[in-house]
Amino acid sequence: MTTSVAYRSPLVVPSPQMVPTPEGASGVTLDCRPYAAQIQQAIASRRPVSLADTERFLVEAEMLFHALPEPLRRAVIELKSGLSRYPFLILKGLPTEQSLPPTPLDSRRPRMERFMVGEWLSAAIAKALGEPFGLVQQNEGELIQHNSPVKLHETAQSGESSKTELLFHTDGSFLPLTPDYNVISCLRPDPAREAVTSFTSLEDLLAELSPKHRELLSQPRFLADGVEYDYDEVNERGNRTHHVPLLRGTAEQPYIFYDQDIHRAVDAEAAEALRALDAALEAKAIHVKLEAGDVALFDNRRCMHKRSPFHANYDGKDRWCLLTYVSSSALEATRERRAAGRRRVLDIPANL
């Protein structure tokens, strides 16, 4: 693996007309363009790091977060602390690459001799939220996953799809260790700007549901009729017969673990509650279009998200995003589930 140097090339800051307002809410976005010079300097001042030295990179990424402007740091920390109105936040207009490579056709990291600007910012925000980790079953354990349209998977329930709607879900809802937070960094939007990312907060969902429906959703009256796209070997390694609740935690601190694609009710009352949940998801959704330099971070346990269909040309100019999973506290408790020789890559079979 080639050793990289600290990134010191000119960066691009999105222009004002590239910063749309989310539909249906205020307080969801933070415009980071006024802090462009400070962010650029913070990235440029990082020490040289080898692409192969993950732990050193994450140390430098954590130091980068501390060098970012206070309004940005405050917004991230308030989200982590549960003080923000919504459990999701869109950082608009962060610096991007001056010369971005073509969008990968295989949804994998392109060959580059240094860390990309988006990777630095993704890792910095992830370290502020907790400990980033990868999964063997997704992008071969990439800590920062590169998601782009793949022709073979254009209709799959996957970040590699384009022709189909990626339904409302919480990532890893069927796993014993789900991401506490997700960080999605947009490197390049789809040319037609058709892709819409939608978020619905659990607080808004619960306000729409009746007490009876909330109680039913908190009972083990649902099963996973299949698992996420990346876990199609579940028949050999997982168990899909366990009945589970979709709402967990406590009344004061509820969490949701639900994927519209895979979870099914096991009786009529549960099915009624599920229909009410699905209706509330659509009714209370907030919609955003991610542009180059936008970073979406969200509490994976306290909101749900989806993505609309969009047109892919497979010509190197398609939508390209980075996805980073974050554990707020559980990573050190998963030693027995780590991939051999890879501290931050977990091998977790589906258990539902």
Please say if the pLDDT value at position 253 is more than 80: yes
Distance CA 264, CA 277 (A): 12
- For 142-195, write each residue's pLDDT tens digit: 899 999 999 999 999 889 999 999 999 999 887 777 899 999 999 999 999 999
Please identify which residue in the block is written with the tokens 């959704």.
285
Q: Report yes or no: 144 and 291 within 8 Å, Cβ to Cβ.
A: no
Q: Is the dihedral of CA 132, 134, 139, 143 positive or negative?
A: positive
Domain regions of the chain by residue span: 11-195+291-346, 205-278
Rounded to the nearest 10 degrees, the angle between the axes of helix 70-80 and helix 117-129 is 50
Distance CA 221, CA 266 (A): 6
Please say if the pLDDT value at position 234 is more than 80: no
Distance CA 309, CA 269 (A): 32
- Give this prediction's pTM: 0.85
DSSP annotation of 48 reads P
Q: Which of 205, 218, 188 is nearest to 278 (CA)?
A: 205
Mean pLDDT of 235-263: 81
CATH class of 11-195+291-346: alpha beta
Q: Which residues make Cβ contacts (< 8 Å) with residue 51, sequence separation at least 6?
A: 1, 2, 3, 4, 57, 113, 114, 115
